[in-house]
Amino acid sequence: MTRQDNRSELPERKETVRRKILSLLSDRPLTARQISGLVGIPEKEVVVHLPHIQKTVGTLKGRLAVTPAECRQCGFVFRKRERPKKPGRCPICRGESISEPLFSFG
């Protein structure tokens, strides 16, 4: 999936997708993967939209909250990770069982 899809760059479509993500997140917290399935866009694209949604909600009531990824083995929290993508491996115990960052709006 390296092919560029220019249709996804249309501003109207971006707006629609962001609004859809926002309404999903106001119902319940979701991972980027779950958003991807519900909105019908690649997870890679969800990750691109999220920082923009953060800006959009600045003018609305409520805010976008991120529960950081956490190592299931030692409990290490990936606080500094700004990117919504799930980390591959724990820097402390090298464990690969890591919970995905969870996004919520409210």
Interaction of residue 41 with Zn ion, rule CB under 5 A: no
Among 10, 65, 77, 93, binds Zn ion (CB under 5 A): 93
**Shortest approach of Zn ion to residue 68 CB, angstroms?**
13
Q: How far apart are CA 92 and CA 5, in angstroms?
A: 38
Instruction: Identify whether the C-beta of residue 38 lies closer than 8 Å to the C-beta of residue 30.
Output: yes
Q: Is there binding between residue 76 and Zn ion (CB under 5 A)?
A: yes
CB of 84 to Zn ion, least distance (A): 20
Cβ(92)–Cβ(54) below 8 Å: no
The piece of 14-22, 35-43, 58-66, 74-82 that touches Zn ion (CB under 5 A) is 74-82
Tell me the DSSP string of 58-103: GGSSS-EEEE--BBTTT--B-TT--SSSPPSS-TTT----BPPPEE
Q: How far is the CB of 72 from Zn ion (least distance, A)?
A: 8
Taking the complex as a whole, the smallest distance from the CB of residue 83 to Zn ion amounts, in Å, to 19
Of 21, 35, 50, 71, the residue at the interface with Zn ion (CB under 5 A) is 71
- Contact between 74 and Zn ion by CB under 5 A: the answer reads yes
35 SS3 class: helix
